């Protein structure tokens, strides 16, 4: 694999971003509940619905939409702004059945002080049986996140693992800077901006064949014997590596119970393989959030 130079560059970028952690930011608002511009008041319960369109669904360095555009619908229930349950369905353009795969997530967050918070979540991804051979293996993903608010930057350090054919660990470090414009017009509309840089490291699988070729993949999202057993002509080994660096600029328009968010992003892989190149290039997601309760 041609990854020495890229890994060196990624390591330098990694150290640079870590050095920026002495700076900081106002807390980034990136959950469905935080997009409620009407406020929760004293009500313990909240309910949100959302719809969206994306050019490619990327999860932990791999496409789980098969490099296709997709649409989604989701419902989120919140309790006391700490515990959330979300269910969603995803449709892929030109694919049958209509619901390509479904997700469910339970998340909990707690703020200890103005500069430190934690959160944890557990998600399940269930693919339609008709698409299991072409998209991905159904899987469960769990993670724990530490949030550090440095006033100029907000840093999230997430460690998580995918439970399928053995545990696959991942590490993400995200630095963002949240901005909010003053309210304007009598309706109190406003915009928010949350530019970020995200570094992802995790498990990779290297496939070596008798012809001498090698392929790096990110299990469990690619098929091809990701159980690591290999075959008589192919040897599979799993290793831990930097995977990609992401740059994004979520922009949202907030109007009471209604929010529209656009998120353009650019994905830069930190490894290169001729047989299986990393995901690279621009990605876009447009979402609409509505608070019901």
CATH at 142: 2.40.160.40
Percent of the chain with pLDDT over 90: 53
Domain count, the chain: 1
User: Quick one: which of 178, 203, 177, 211 has its CA closest to 192?
Assistant: 178
pLDDT of residue 35: 39
For 218-247, what is the mean pLDDT? 66
pLDDT of residue 172: 96
Alpha carbon distance 37, 289 (integer Å): 10
Full-model pTM: 0.80
Can you tell me which residue has the tokens 């994004």?
A: 248
What is the tens place of the pLDDT at every residue in 100-150? 999 999 999 999 999 999 999 999 999 999 998 888 888 899 999 999 999
Q: Is the distance from CB of 66 to CB of 222 less than 8 angstroms?
A: no
Beta strands in the chain (DSSP E): 45-54, 58-59, 62-63, 70-79, 83-92, 101-111, 116-127, 139-149, 154-163, 167-176, 179-180, 190-193, 196-209, 214-217, 234-248, 251-255, 258-269, 281-291
172: containing domain:
4-291
| Residue 268: strand pairing partners | 245
Question: Does residue 93 carry a pLDDT above 60?
Answer: yes
Question: Does residue 2 carry a pLDDT above 80?
Answer: no
User: Quick one: which of 74, 82, 75 has its CA closest to 45?
Assistant: 82
What is the tens place of the pLDDT at every residue in 178-223? 999 998 877 789 999 999 999 999 887 777 777 766 655 555 555 5
């Amino acid at each position: 694999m041609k990854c020495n130079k890229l890994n060196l560059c990624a390591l330098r970028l990694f150290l640079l971003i870590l050095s920026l952690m002495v700076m900081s930011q106002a807390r980034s608002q990136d959950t469905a509940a935080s997009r409620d511009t009407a406020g929760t008041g004293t009500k313990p319960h909240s309910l949100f619905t959302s719809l969206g369109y994306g050019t490619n669904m990327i999860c932990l360095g791999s496409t789980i939409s098969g490099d296709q555009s997709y649409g989604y619908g989701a419902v989120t229930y919140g309790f006391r702004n700490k515990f959330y349950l979300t269910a969603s369905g995803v449709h892929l353009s030109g694919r049958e059945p209509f619901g390509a795969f479904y997700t469910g997530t339970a998340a909990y967050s707690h703020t200890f002080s103005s500069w430190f918070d934690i959160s944890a979540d557990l998600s399940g991804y269930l693919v339609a049986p008709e698409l299991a051979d072409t998209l991905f293996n159904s899987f469960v993903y769990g993670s724990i996140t530490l949030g550090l608010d440095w006033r100029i930057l907000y840093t999230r350090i997430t460690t998580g693992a995918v439970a399928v054919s053995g545990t696959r660990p991942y590490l993400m470090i995200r630095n963002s800077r949240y901005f909010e414009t003053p309210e304007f017009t009598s309706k109190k509309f406003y915009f928010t901006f949350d530019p970020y840089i995200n570094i992802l490291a995790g498990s990779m699988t290297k496939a070596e064949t008798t012809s001498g070729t090698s392929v790096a993949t990110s299990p469990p999202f690619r098929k091809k014997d990701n159980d690591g057993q290999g075959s008589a002509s192919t040897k599979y080994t799993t290793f831990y590596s930097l995977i990609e660096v992401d740059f994004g600029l979520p922009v949202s328009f907030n109007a009471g119970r209604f929010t529209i968010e656009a998120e353009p992003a650019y994905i830069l892989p930190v490894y290169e393989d001729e047989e299986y190149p990393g995901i690279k290039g621009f990605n876009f997601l447009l979402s609409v959030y509505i608070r019901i309760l």
